[in-house]
Amino acid sequence: MTQALILQVVQSYKLTELFQRVILTGAGLERLGENSAGLHIKLFFKRDGQQQLNLQHLGKNRHQRHSDEQPQKDLDKQPSSVLKPSSRTYSVRHYDTVNNLLTVDFVLHPDPGVACAWAKTALKGDQVGLAGPGPMRLCNLNASAFLLIGDASSLPAIMAVIDQLPLHASVQVVMELPKGHLPFIDCERICNIKWHWLEQTFTPQTSLLPLIRSLALPLAGVSVAIASEHKTVLCLRQYFRSQSIDRDYLYCVPYWRHRQNEETYHDARHRVMDS
């Protein structure tokens, strides 16, 4: 892993009822470079009781590596100053190379964990740690058409990626949003793109799958990305694998799991991605 950085909040504001936009800067952030939009990053947050964010204990030893999965009662016995920070995965929404500014859009979900709660109250000068970016891209840029399926958690990455796709390629986006939230598009592409919006019901068999089937896409040469809640990703991955889509053209990553926080879900996500 590249060296973790400490970043400062430059600005934080509510983009919509569903998203808090946080703009960050800091020394070393230049490594994101020009083509980082849509890539994933790890953000680190100080734990309860810690006065200051401390990145010194990241990956130091086996016990520390697993402190994210330790029960709270065990964590309570350790001095907070030596604990690893909490970590969460987010996406580069935009990186401004001229001014060294990173934009991250946080979903304001109804059961806020450490990241969502931090973003909601972030003030200018607050600190957050960053590792990455990771190399994995949502799309195979050799494809002739793109199908991007996601929810609010992947909308920032999907919108970042849309503006990088060739203009002649056709793009279809299937996006689930929580009940009551209106479609929100914040990307420049307007031609050769079709958006399909659905209410998120966590019942992919009866909601998403029929819609995707109805698109009747010829899957040869299409890059398919599925980035959403665990159950949805598993269901759709099974469908696309049954269509014999080439694995290099299929990105399937569960971004979160209903009723599990990142500490509980982290290892299971990696098992899903490896399977």
Ligand X SMILES: Cc1cc2nc3c(=O)[nH]c(=O)nc-3n(C[C@H](O)[C@H](O)[C@H](O)COP(=O)(O)OP(=O)(O)OC[C@H]3O[C@@H](n4cnc5c(N)ncnc54)[C@H](O)[C@@H]3O)c2cc1C
* Nearest approach, Cβ of residue 191 and ligand X (Å): 26
Kindly determine how many residues on this chain lie close enough to bind ligand X according to the rule CB under 6 A.
28
Q: Is 175 in the site for ligand X (CB under 6 A)?
A: no
* CA within 13 Å, CB half, 155: 26
* Nearest approach, Cβ of residue 57 and ligand X (Å): 19
- Which residues, listed in sequence order, are joined to residue 177 by a DSSP beta bridge? 199
How far apart CA 163 and CA 174 sit, in angstroms, is 16
- Residue numbers 39-58 binding ligand X by CB under 6 A: 40
* CA within 13 Å, CB half, 57: 23
* Nearest approach, Cβ of residue 197 and ligand X (Å): 16
For residue 153, the one-letter residue type is S
184-187, long-range: CB < 8 A, 24+ apart: 184/15, 184/16, 184/18, 184/19, 184/155, 185/159, 186/15, 186/159, 187/159, 187/160, 187/162, 187/163
The site map against ligand X for 116-135 (x = CB under 6 A) is x-------------------
Q: Is 146 in the site for ligand X (CB under 6 A)?
A: no
The site map against ligand X for 2-21 (x = CB under 6 A) is --------------------
* Nearest approach, Cβ of residue 268 and ligand X (Å): 12
Q: Which of 4, 6, 88, 85 is nearest to 47 (CA)?
A: 85
Cβ–Cβ < 8 Å for 202, 231: yes
Cβ–Cβ < 8 Å for 68, 87: yes
- Considering the complex, state which of residue 199 and residue 220 has its C-beta at the smaller distance from ligand X: 199
* Nearest approach, Cβ of residue 159 and ligand X (Å): 10
Stretch that binds ligand X, among 29-37, 102-110, 121-129, 218-226 (CB under 6 A): 102-110
Q: Is 255 in the site for ligand X (CB under 6 A)?
A: yes
Residues contributing to the site for ligand X (CB under 6 A): 40, 88-91, 105-107, 109, 111-116, 152-153, 156-157, 253, 255-262
